[in-house]
């Protein structure tokens, strides 16, 4: 070819492993516990989207920690914690959130929002009058003017909104001084970490079916909580993501309003709620419960491209005589092969189920996958078969939060690890075939 020869590409750059943890259902699958586990070997843990409307609970040394905004990996002393590109949520955003939800409830159109101000903040972002961390740390007089303009916009929309602007500005000026040492260009920081071969762990908030674009709109959150949100929130190229772990509860739960095809409004749903301790970390509301929905998992897998599943809370099903799995949807009497695009259509869906025999035995003392009741093994195998995603981890026992610190000791050839936690002590990690415990 004419011209100068192409420069030889560098081959001495060690690309890191970027692992993403995502909720595969409607949230509350146990992502925070998995993140805390994997963070023990990570160098950087990131939150990429959302705000303090999410809730992740972990327990370390008998102490419970509830995380809403910060990456739960922050509990690890040697891990750098990163929050991606951030707009500021002000008190009036939260007030507006409540006023909007009140108006919708009066019309019978409530969404069950957490009232944390996340929706109004994303609205400010989209209309390009939002205020970012960089604005707070720059010329404070310019910040003052932006803040006054934003408040005036919302006061015109909501005449009853009351904001003491001067008091608020005094508070924010103090915040600016306090957080300035913590602010960094995270795009270049993460790029450097990746090139140096650091292990990057990304903690998704909310879940796939709450995604603003691909979830059950309008009963969704205000951000992209599918894998695309990792790229837009952190500035990480998709080709750098090597592992995408979908966290799946062994049944299905949902907080708030919105369609829920497999919901059980009976004693089985009540049993799942009670045995699973299904109360929202952020909202404190009881979670709605239902059978596992594999049709839904197939849909979220199309979007996220999971490389592995972690199935949690298998033991909650221990007492059931039979368990059902939704494998298809019928709409208006016809089998459909797509996820309905409107909430009204999804609410009319009738599920096709397969029924498997329950195991009616405790899984607390399991030591190997082969020691799980045969019917429990069949349940796990069926999920893997139907979705086509390998299940690498299973959570057994309510104290799943104590799975920390040892999972990665399992050798790479383990097909599946069963996480058993009882009496606040990690007992064993086992493989589906032959397990070798590595001290």
pLDDT bracket for residue 412 (50, 70, 90):
very low
Binding residues for Mg(2+): 28, 55
Say whether pLDDT at 264 is over 80: yes
Q: Are 372 and 366 in contact (CB under 8 A)?
A: yes
The confidence score (pLDDT) of residue 422 equals: 38
pTM of this structure = 0.83
Summarised one tens digit per residue, pLDDT across range 119-137 is 888 889 999 999 999 999 9
Binding residues for GTP: 27-33, 55-57, 287, 313-315
Whether 125 is catalytic: yes
Which residues of the chain form CATH 1.10.300.10? 91-182
- How far apart are the C-alpha atoms of 106 and 102, rounded to whole Å? 6
Domain 91-182 architecture? Orthogonal Bundle (1.10)
Measured CA angle at 141 (ends 140, 142), to 5 deg:
90
- How far apart are the C-alpha atoms of 340 and 140, rounded to whole Å? 48
Summarised one tens digit per residue, pLDDT across range 144-175 is 999 999 999 999 999 889 899 999 999 999 99
Q: Are 222 and 49 in contact (CB under 8 A)?
A: no
Q: Which among 56, 93, 199, 392 is annotated as catalytic? A: 56
Which residues of the chain form CATH 3.90.170.10? 18-83+186-430
The confidence score (pLDDT) of residue 14 equals: 58
The confidence score (pLDDT) of residue 231 equals: 95
Q: Are 353 and 252 in contact (CB under 8 A)?
A: no
The confidence score (pLDDT) of residue 199 equals: 95
pLDDT bracket for residue 108 (50, 70, 90):
confident
Tell me what percent of the residues of the chain surpass a pLDDT of 70: 83
283 or 391: which carries more pLDDT confidence?
A: 391
Binding residues: 27-33, 53-57, 114, 128, 206, 221, 281-287, 313-315
Mean pLDDT, the chain, whole residue set? 84
Distances (CA, A) of 297 to 21, 107, 142, 336, 338: 15, 32, 47, 15, 12
Whether 56 is catalytic: yes
Average pLDDT for residues 339-351, to the nearest whole number? 97
Binding residues for IMP: 28-31, 53-56, 114, 128, 206, 221, 285
Whether 8 is catalytic: no
With a CB cutoff of 8 Å and minimum separation 6, the contacts of 269 are: 263, 288, 289, 290
Tell me which CATH code domain 18-83+186-430 carries. Answer: 3.90.170.10
The confidence score (pLDDT) of residue 56 equals: 65
Q: Which among 68, 85, 104, 125 is annotated as catalytic? A: 125
- How far apart are the C-alpha atoms of 246 and 159, rounded to whole Å? 44
């Amino acid at each position: 070819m004419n011209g100068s020869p192409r420069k030889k590409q560098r081959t001495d750059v060690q690309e890191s492993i970027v692992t993403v943890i995502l909720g595969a259902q409607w949230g509350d699958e146990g992502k925070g516990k998995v993140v805390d586990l994997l963070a023990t070997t990570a160098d950087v843990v990131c939150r990429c989207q959302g705000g303090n409307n999410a809730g992740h609970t972990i327990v370390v040394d008998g102490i419970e920690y509830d995380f809403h905004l910060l990456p739960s990996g922050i509990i690890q002393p040697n891990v750098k914690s990163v929050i991606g590109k951030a707009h500021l949520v002000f008190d009036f955003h939260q007030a507006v959130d409540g006023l909007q939800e009140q108006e919708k409830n009066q019309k019978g159109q409530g969404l069950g929002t957490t009232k944390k101000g996340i929706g109004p903040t994303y609205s400010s972002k989209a209309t390009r009058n939002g205020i970012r961390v960089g604005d707070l740390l720059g010329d404070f007089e310019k910040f003052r003017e932006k803040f006054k303009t934003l408040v005036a916009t919302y006061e015109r929309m909501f005449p009853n909104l009351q904001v003491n602007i001067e008091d608020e500005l005094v508070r924010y000026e103090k915040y600016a001084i306090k957080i300035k040492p913590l602010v960094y260009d995270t795009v270049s920081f993460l790029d450097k970490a990746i090139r140096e071969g650091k292990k990057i762990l990304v903690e998704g908030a909310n879940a796939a079916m709450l995604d603003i674009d691909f979830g059950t709109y309008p009963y969704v959150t205000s951000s992209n909580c599918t894998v695309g949100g990792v790229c837009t929130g952190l500035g990480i190229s998709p080709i750098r993501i090597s592992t995408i772990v979908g966290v799946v509860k062994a049944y299905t739960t949902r907080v708030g309003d919105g369609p829920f095809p497999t919901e059980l409004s009976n004693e089985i749903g009540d049993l799942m709620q009670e045995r699973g301790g299904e109360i929202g970390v952020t909202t404190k509301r009881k979670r709605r419960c239902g059978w596992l929905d594999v049709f839904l998992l197939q849909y979220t897998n199309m979007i996220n491209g999971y490389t592995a599943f972690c199935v949690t809370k298998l033991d909650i099903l221990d007492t059931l005589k039979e368990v059902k799995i939704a494998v298809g949807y019928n709409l208006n009497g016809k089998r459909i092969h797509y996820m309905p695009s409107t909430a009204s259509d999804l609410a009319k869906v009738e599920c096709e189920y397969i029924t498997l025999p329950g195991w009616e035995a405790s899984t607390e003392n399991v030591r190997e996958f082969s020691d799980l009741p045969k019917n429990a093994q069949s349940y796990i195998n069926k999920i893997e078969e139907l979705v086509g995603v390998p299940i690498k981890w299973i959570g057994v026992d309510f104290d799943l939060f104590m799975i920390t610190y040892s999972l990665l000791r399992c050798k790479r050839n383990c097909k599946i690890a069963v996480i058993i936690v009882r009496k606040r002590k990690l007992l064993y990690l086992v493989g589906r075939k032959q397990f070798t415990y590595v001290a």
